[in-house]
Amino acid sequence: MTTTLGAFIVKELRHILRDRQTLTILLLMPLIQVILFGFALRSDVRNVRLVIVDPFPDYATAALSSRFGAASRFRIVAVTPTMRGVEPLFQQGKADIAVVFEPGFGSRLGSGEPARVLLAVDASDPNTGTTMLFYARAVFASYEAELGSERGRPVRIVPATRMRFNPTLESVNLFIPGLIALVLTLVSALMTAISLSREKERGTLEILLVSPLRPWQIIVGKVVPYLGLAFANVLTALVAAWLVFHVPFRGSVTLLLAESLLYSMVSLALGVLVASLTGSQRVAMLVALLATMLPSSLLSGMVFPIASMPTVLQVISNIVPARWFIIIARGIMLKGVGLEYLWRETLVLAGMTMLLMAVAVRSFKPRVG
Amino acid sequence: MNLRILRVLLRKEYLQIYRDKLMLRQMLLMPFIQLFLLSSAATFEVKTARVFLVDRDHSATSRGLVDRLHASGRFAVVGASASMDPADDALLTRDAGMILGIPAEFERDIVRTRAGSVQLVFNAEDGALAGVTNSYAQQILAAYGRELGATLRPVVTEAPHIEIRTRGWYNQELDYKDYMIPGILVQLLTLVGTLLTAMNIVREKELGTLDQLNVTPLPRSSFIAAKLIPLWSIALAELAAGLAVARWVFGVPVAGSVPLVFLAACIYLLVALGIGLLISTMVDTQQQAMFVSFFLILVYLLMSGLFTPVRSMPEWAQMLAELNPVKHFIGIMRSVLLKGAGLTDIVRPLAILTITGTIALAFAVRQYAKTSA
């Protein structure tokens, strides 16, 4: 029995190795993704283009304008006396934020009256918009504080802020664990689903079914080569992250690899399940995309924090395996913790694997039609 | 090109697509699920941050600070201790997202020197969350400082104060979904245009029916046109459905002209279909087609500014993004739908799309004729 299974695995492996194009893409993909994510995907906002609307320039507006000019994040693209002309700049995407001083800003400030200023921001991207507002407020706050220290101080509470586990909030450190989850999902779930449904579509599955192989052996034979491929992908992604971006590995690499293997198994089981429920490759692909890729990228906390989601989605996110894997991977890589802190998440993944495997093997009918 | 032949072929293609009920349902369902998921899941807003309190001062002032955090509704104290060790453990187990450390003599410092310090430690494992929580905490600290300044003796009079009013143009409520939905529609068009085109043609290749068609007297141009036109129309129908859902289900404002959006989409689809056709000439199986197109689409989308602003990318990536048709189309969609931009505002990206579209399609058709000859 073992030799039959072995021969079958070898056959499947040959299938994969023969298809050079897919193999190249599969092996290159994590590498390119890590590099793209690491270099190009930054959510911090730099080079904010600023328009200053200053109807009556005075000492205060001049001081603030020069502060904005000196701030590395801001670049002043226009200074105008009226609001006219601001809107077209925004519509053509040439300005991001407008600072509008009221007439008599400086004299009000000097007399202790509240001096008013309007910050109008291109909020079509709310996240960027909020961040730009935050930076602009900081410029005003520091000016205010300086004026204040010249003439009696309000109480200052100085926070000493520390970002533990990722002091510089480097995005690549946060993306890598999620990226590994995504690549594993893609290779394990999607590829398995398509490979199995391809045999179904072509009718070669019938030939396999009448062979002495038992259904579970067919599944194992299909799954093992992809497990190896997925593992190779994890290694590439990790090495690239380590060499190119110096992503920290504070915990045990062995544990991380073991957990990746566990996560691959969950994804593979999902892939088998999708294949057994669908008829054609295209449908299998679409279902696999909807059932695995979408939740793995959106509901896993990879990019968007789970704590910010509506309660319904937070509950749903519990059944997304990637969510648990990302907690584990971040814990090991960034926090340097071991199983003593991650046993719950590991148990959840192990439980999911068993359940999905059982369902997948059961629903994989050894019958045709 | 013979119009009669084209009509017959088109009929066959439409029938084939219409018959594939599951596929059809998926294609119609996809936009709704994506719109729903992205519009509600894709947010960085912080609801309640869990705070672990290490108060070594135990004074009225330190309690006042904790009260202010509580009252903001964004912070909840989940634990307290006198030393940092349990607090640190709470960060490791993810029971708390932030530690607020108030040193002994916090109140004394404030009374004597009008300045005090506190310690904020965040679990930056989730960087975006930590950053946003930090900015909320800082605002509360600053407000509390002003409040204390007004009550502590000697009272500071005439403290200069700048009153900042803010306004978010084009998206008053800072609603993330208003921003994402135009992008999601672009993603959808790309998926239908590129992925389905490639899969559709490669399927005929895999089944061997492409060879049969190639030996018939059918002109190749008719065959390609018959393959592309249905997907082109389906993609436009999806755009119409998606826009309707966005407008009436999600309440996304449509500031600009809808015909202009469709004009841009028609041109953009030439690029998407051209790339799909090109992929189909390079691969032999559906699996490969899916992988190549999936990979390309992923790179296109990630580099397009859909999720992260293009201007935050390094120089070389920004230059690459200029070549990316998806980036230009997303830019058009966002400025027309959100900002109400007119034809004159989007002439440049539209021209770039037209040029890339013509090149991509022409090259793909040439390549197609070559490989199947």
With a cut of 80, say whether residue A51 has pLDDT above it: yes
With a cut of 90, say whether residue A351 has pLDDT above it: yes
Check if B43 contacts A (Cβ < 8 Å).
Answer: yes
* Interface contact flag, B118 A46, Cβ < 8 Å: no
* Interface contact flag, B137 A299, Cβ < 8 Å: no
B53: nearest Cα among B145, B118, B134, B139 = B118
In this predicted structure, what is the pLDDT of residue B370? 62
With a cut of 80, say whether residue B199 has pLDDT above it: yes
**Mutation to test the A interface, candidates B144, B203, B238, B287, most A Cβ within 10 Å:** B287
Q: Which amino acid is at B268?
A: Y
B314/A317: higher pLDDT: A317
Cβ–Cβ pairs < 8 A, chains A and B = 324
Portion of chain A with pLDDT greater than 70, in percent: 91
A337/A171: higher pLDDT: A337
Q: In chain B, positions 218-247, which contact chain A (CB-CB < 8 Å)?
A: none
User: Cα dihedral angle (B301, B44, A41, A29), rounded to 10 degrees?
Assistant: -60
pTM of the model: 0.77
Residues of A in contact with B345 (CB under 8 A): 91-92
* Sheet architecture: strand order including B162-169: A74-80, A48-53, A97-101, A115-122, B162-169
Q: What is the pLDDT of residues A102-138, one digit of tens each?
A: 888 888 887 777 788 888 888 777 777 777 887 888 8
With a cut of 70, say whether residue A198 has pLDDT above it: yes
In this predicted structure, what is the pLDDT of residue A260? 92
Among the partner-chain residues A21, A134, A159, the one whose CB lies closest to the CB of B283 is A21
Q: What does the block give as tokens for A97?
A: 């934020």
Among the partner-chain residues A25, A144, A282, the one whose CB lies closest to the CB of B292 is A25
B148: nearest Cα among B53, B67, B55 = B67
Terminal C-alpha separation, chain A = 27
With a cut of 80, say whether residue B35 has pLDDT above it: no
**Residue carrying the six token digits 């584990």:** A328
Cβ atoms within 10 Å of A204's Cβ, excluding its own: 11
In this predicted structure, what is the pLDDT of residue A85? 79
B161/B210: higher pLDDT: B210
Q: Which element (helix H / strand E) includes A49?
A: strand A48-53
Q: In chain B, positions 323-352, which contact chain A (CB-CB < 8 Å)?
A: 331, 334-335, 338-341, 345
Q: What is the pLDDT of residues B224-272, one digit of tens each?
A: 888 889 889 988 988 998 888 888 888 888 888 899 999 999 999 999 9
In this predicted structure, what is the pLDDT of residue B296? 84
Contact B364, B277 (CB under 8 A): yes
Q: What does the block give as tokens for B201?
A: 């043609």
Q: What does the block give as tokens for B65?
A: 């600070």
ipTM higher than 0.90? no
* Interface contact flag, B161 A114, Cβ < 8 Å: yes
**Separation CA B155–CA B50 (nearest Å):** 35
Q: What is the number of helices (H) and of strands (E) in chain A?
A: 16, 5
Q: What is the pLDDT of residues B59-79, one digit of tens each?
A: 988 898 999 988 888 899 998
- A83: Cβ–Cβ under 8 A, 6 or more apart, which residues? A53, A100
Runs of H (alpha helix) within B42-83: 60-71
Bridge partners for A192 per DSSP: none
Q: What is the pLDDT of residues B137-191, one digit of tens each?
A: 888 888 888 788 777 765 555 555 666 676 766 666 666 677 778 888 888 888 8
Contact B314, A46 (CB under 8 A): no
Q: What is the pLDDT of residues B81-120, one digit of tens each?
A: 888 889 888 888 888 888 998 988 888 888 887 788 888 8
**Separation CA A296–CA A185 (nearest Å):** 8
Check if B215 contacts A (Cβ < 8 Å).
Answer: no
Portion of chain B with pLDDT greater than 90, in percent: 10
Contact A181, B139 (CB under 8 A): no
